[in-house]
Chains A and B, each alone.
Chain A
Amino acid sequence: MRFENKVAIVTGGASGIGEATVRAFAAEGAKVVIADFSDHGAAVAEELNKQGYDTLFVKTNVAEEASVKAMVAATVKKYGKLDILFANAGIGAQGVTHELSMKDWQRMIDINLTGVFLCDKYAIDQMLKQGTGGAVVNCGSIHSHVARNTIPAYSAAKGGVKLLTQSTAIAYAQQNIRVNAVCPGYIDTPLIQGSSEEARQYLINLHPMGRLGKPEEIAKSVLFLASEDASFITGTTLTVDGGYTAQ
């Protein structure tokens, strides 16, 4: 098992990509903190702990500094250390630029960009105190690289995540803290499951492979980046998108 005796935080760990990653980490021996705004995280933790895994739900609002600080503190209190962060929590939203309200813009930036910054900040602070190195995986997107007309705020936030990742990777490379981003295409998660069949087909057609991704496929990439196998990989984006950005 690749993550025996490792402690991982997964934000947005109660559903979708985050939940799949929580399950994958637990299955490979990690102790996992499920950080989520939704109380459903408690049910996920309970289910996994009943199966013999060691997980902890910490209700977290990644956009609030005090909440993120408390998330890392709760992790260290329970498990004594932190080795891995998957800063995954995020929201989706539509709206072309001239129609986008200041409120919607701000909410997107707060959760999808500031939220990643705050998680990186407090996780790395803890890893530096330990002096043991660590691995951070930020959740970017194909929209860290390419745009669509209806999601300017989402793309701005995810573009920000890409360069936050690179800057942070360079800063801590010598301390053996690796920082990378996983950049998924459209994945079959609750963010998408609410859409109409027509909208879903439209999204499918954007991917040369002709299907949406599965949360487990992103989880496997996150585990690769977080593992010792990726020891020379830092500051990169790993794109898992069924060919979307290669077109």
Chain B
Amino acid sequence: MRLEGKVAMITGAGTGIGKSTALRFAKEGAKVVVTDINEASVKQTADEVKKLGGEALAIRHDVGSEDNWIQVVDEAIKAFGTIDVLFNNAGIYVIKPLFDTTVEDWNRLMNINVTSVFLGMKHVIPVMLKQQRGSVINASSIAGIGGSPNHVLYGASKGAVRTMTKDVAMEFATQGIRVNSIHPGYINTAMVDYAAATTHRDKEALGQAVSPIGRVGNVDEVSNLVLFLASDESSYMTGTEMVIDGGAMAR
């Protein structure tokens, strides 16, 4: 098993990529701390992990709140002793033209998508430093690399995550802490339903248009990648950006 004996914290684990990752990690031997703003959804994830014979702790989590991060890390340590892997996955998606984007929109999304990643690294890396070992995976997006119309807000947030990942990777490179980002294209989640509705296309047409593979990705394809980055198989990787988009950014 690829994460035998490890403890992993996954934010936004109530649905989609976060949930898939929690289940995949558990199958590979990790104890998982699954958090989400929606407590019912993350309890459901924890139940499914336990059904697989795994160990899980579900916690309601407002990832934009520093007090809440301190509390969540504390609970995780009490339950499982340490944290070896952090997947900063929680985030929201807003497609909006520049002129319609309000400061309130901006501050809310930046709080959930960027401040969350900053706080997660700030409060979990000290735990990892005690054992001089840890892997952090931050969820960015292909929108953090290339531009799209009506993506000023989301793109800015994911661009910030991309660069923060490299900065923190450099800060702890010699101390056993690896920090990498993932950059999914359109993946079959509520976000792709939203994108399809907003751009007046069906999901299949969106997948066909965006990626050479001609379809949207599945959540399990992304959790496969997160698992690789979480495991010791990627021991020489830090500060890298892994694109998973069916070839979209290659052209």
Chain A interfacial positions (CB closer than 8 Å to B) = 165-167, 169-170, 173-174, 185, 208-210, 213-214, 217-218, 220-221, 224, 229-236, 238-243, 245-247
Contact A166–B250 (Cβ < 8 Å): yes
Secondary structure of the A side of the interface?
mixed
Q: Which of A174, A213, A236 contacts B214 (CB 8 A)?
A: A174
**Contact A246-B240, Cβ < 8 Å, known A174-B214, A210-B173, A234-B213:** yes
Distance between Cα atoms of A217 and B238 in the complex (Å): 13
Q: List 18 A-B contacts (CB under 8 A).
A: A165-B250, A173-B214, A173-B246, A174-B214, A208-B170, A208-B174, A208-B239, A209-B174, A229-B221, A229-B224, A232-B245, A234-B212, A234-B247, A235-B251, A242-B238, A243-B238, A246-B170, A247-B170
Contact B246–A185 (Cβ < 8 Å): no
B232 to chain A: closest residue by CB: A220
Asked if B243 is an interface residue, CB under 8 A from chain A, the answer is yes
Contact B236–A242 (Cβ < 8 Å): yes
Interface residues contributed by chain B, number (CB under 8 Å): 36
Distance between Cα atoms of A185 and B236 in the complex (Å): 9
In the complex, besides A166-B251, A232-B244, A247-B166, 6 extra interface pairs with C-beta distance below 8 angstroms are A208-B174, A232-B245, A234-B247, A236-B243, A238-B242, A246-B238
- CB neighbors of A among B204-251 (8 A): 211-214, 217-218, 221-222, 224-225, 227-228, 233-247, 249-251
Q: Which of B173, B233, B242 contacts A236 (CB 8 A)?
A: B242
B181 to chain A: closest residue by CB: A246
Contact A208–B173 (Cβ < 8 Å): yes
**Contact A174-B212, Cβ < 8 Å, known A209-B238, A239-B240:** yes
Asked if B169 is an interface residue, CB under 8 A from chain A, the answer is yes
Contact A169–B250 (Cβ < 8 Å): yes
A174 contacts across to B, CB distance below 8 A: 212-214
The smallest C-beta distance from B19 to any residue of chain A, in angstroms, reads: 17
**Contact A209-B247, Cβ < 8 Å, known A229-B224, A234-B212, A243-B170:** no
Contact A243–B250 (Cβ < 8 Å): no
Q: Which of A170, A230, A236, A238 contacts B251 (CB 8 A)?
A: A170
- Interface contacts (Cβ under 8 Å), in number, total 118
Instruction: Give the top 9 A-B pairs by smallest Cβ distance, nearest first.
Output: A246-B239, A235-B250, A173-B212, A208-B173, A229-B224, A166-B250, A232-B221, A235-B247, A232-B217
The smallest C-beta distance from A44 to any residue of chain B, in angstroms, reads: 23
The smallest C-beta distance from B175 to any residue of chain A, in angstroms, reads: 10
Q: Which of A231, A236, A238 contacts B221 (CB 8 A)?
A: A231
Distance between Cα atoms of A4 and B222 in the complex (Å): 23
Distance between Cα atoms of A86 and B11 in the complex (Å): 36
Distance between Cα atoms of A173 and B251 in the complex (Å): 12
B241 to chain A: closest residue by CB: A239
Q: Which of B213, B239, B246 contacts A245 (CB 8 A)?
A: B239
A242 to chain B: closest residue by CB: B236
Distance between Cα atoms of A247 and B233 in the complex (Å): 22
Contact A214–B238 (Cβ < 8 Å): no
A208 contacts across to B, CB distance below 8 A: 169-170, 173-174, 238-239
Contact A234–B250 (Cβ < 8 Å): yes
Contact B218–A232 (Cβ < 8 Å): yes
Contact B234–A221 (Cβ < 8 Å): yes
B239 contacts across to A, CB distance below 8 A: 208, 243, 245-247
B212 to chain A: closest residue by CB: A173
- CB neighbors of A among B172-203 (8 A): 173-174, 185
Distance between Cα atoms of A221 and B234 in the complex (Å): 7
A229 to chain B: closest residue by CB: B224
A240 contacts across to B, CB distance below 8 A: 234, 236-237, 240
Contact A236–B238 (Cβ < 8 Å): no
Q: Which of B228, B236, B247 contacts A169 (CB 8 A)?
A: B247
- CB neighbors of A among B132-191 (8 A): 166, 169-170, 173-174, 185
**Contact A232-B240, Cβ < 8 Å, known A209-B173, A217-B235:** no
**Contact A220-B234, Cβ < 8 Å, known A232-B222, A239-B240, A241-B240:** yes
B244 contacts across to A, CB distance below 8 A: 232-233, 236
Contact A238–B169 (Cβ < 8 Å): no
Q: Which of A173, A230, A242, A243 contacts B247 (CB 8 A)?
A: A173
Distance between Cα atoms of A166 and B249 in the complex (Å): 9
Distance between Cα atoms of A238 and B246 in the complex (Å): 14
